[in-house]
Structure 1
């Protein structure tokens, strides 16, 4: 099995590219996250839980990785990181050092887009109010921990072009 962390600013299209990659290649799958957000909030396929259930699952050791961001709890169940093929997981940059310790040779794919594209996508999805969208945009530029295997994908074109770039970034050997 090969694990790949996918990170990037809100609105960059991480979930879209991950879903397209999984639909394109049956050897690729995405780990389903647990999030303290209502299950009908839209976006990626995730398990929505209450803060209480999330805390209980953290205490029980259910998650290989967990973190807090944007006022929410996020967890990757350990069972989601098992099996054959390539497993993509949508992660926070704050958990990358822990993920690299857990997964030697971890590849990190940073999906990004220009600020105007990010702003338009956040507005279109209408999941947050304008203040929350502005806060997410302010965090769009971020530093990654040193020493990771990182490749960046600019997702500023069509979904097909974004997928081509993303699939190239997943390759063990890249030019």
Structure 2
């Protein structure tokens, strides 16, 4: 039995990763999503995730609960080992990953497709302001990292500009994913 590819949706803060993931799930019933485990403090929201304390996270990591884990921006992130079961049952498994962990993810998952979302700087800035999760200085820091390139050596990358309508972005992603399968 072959495993479904892991489809890593990446991009700068405010690019719309979670909106794109939700829209892809709505359009492609064969896809599923794996929620990240994050040590985000109580009161801080974000995407749909499983919140744990740092102590819980370290215990989970030592117990082998994660297929992949990393730290970024002062938080710990993990992809549950249950992703393997999801890969057996789905056509594709969507995950929100950090750009810095993509090479490791490719080594772990083997069949990795990176969907790299971009958006115009003014669009990113407006989206960060609208979501209101970060201070002005934190928004500036996130915008400063927006141009961080993907690591070298990735085998399958789809780059899509998400500055415009979400439906157009999803159409472009699905066309490219289907083109890869043909």
Alignment of 1:33-48 (within 5 A): 33-38=36-41, 41-48=44-51
Q: Which moved more, 1:9-18 or 1:141-150?
A: 141-150
Q: 2:149 aligns with which of 131, 138, 143?
A: 143
SS in 2 for 1:121: helix
Contact 2:12 2:145 in 1 (8 A): yes
Shift of 1:55: 1.5
Contact 1:67 1:74 in 2 (8 A): yes
Q: 1:139 to 1:50 in 2, by over 3 A?
A: same
SS in 2 for 1:82: helix
**Mapped pair 1:173 → 2:164:** no
Q: 1:38 to 1:81 in 2, by over 3 A?
A: farther
SS in 1 for 2:174: helix
Shift of 1:80: 2.8
**Mapped pair 1:156 → 2:163:** yes
Contact 1:122 1:133 in 2 (8 A): yes
Corresponding residue of 1:57: 60
Distance, in Å, in 2 between the alignment partners of 1:14 and 1:170 is 17
Distance, in Å, in 1 between the alignment partners of 2:60 and 2:179 is 33
Instruction: Give the gaps of 5 or more residues in structure 1.
Output: none
Distance, in Å, in 1 between the alignment partners of 2:30 and 2:79 is 19
Contact 2:103 2:153 in 1 (8 A): no
Distance, in Å, in 1 between the alignment partners of 2:42 and 2:49 is 7
Contact 2:158 2:173 in 1 (8 A): no
Shift of 1:39: 6.2
Corresponding residue of 1:93: 99
Q: 1:100 to 1:172 in 2, by over 3 A?
A: farther
Q: 1:104 to 1:172 in 2, by over 3 A?
A: farther
What is the count of residue pairs matched by the alignment? 175
Corresponding residue of 1:109: 115
TM-score computed with the length of structure 1 as normaliser: 0.92
**Superposed CA offset, 1:6-39 (max 9, x none):** 1110100011000111111110111110111146
Instruction: Give the gaps of 5 or more residues in structure 2.
Output: none
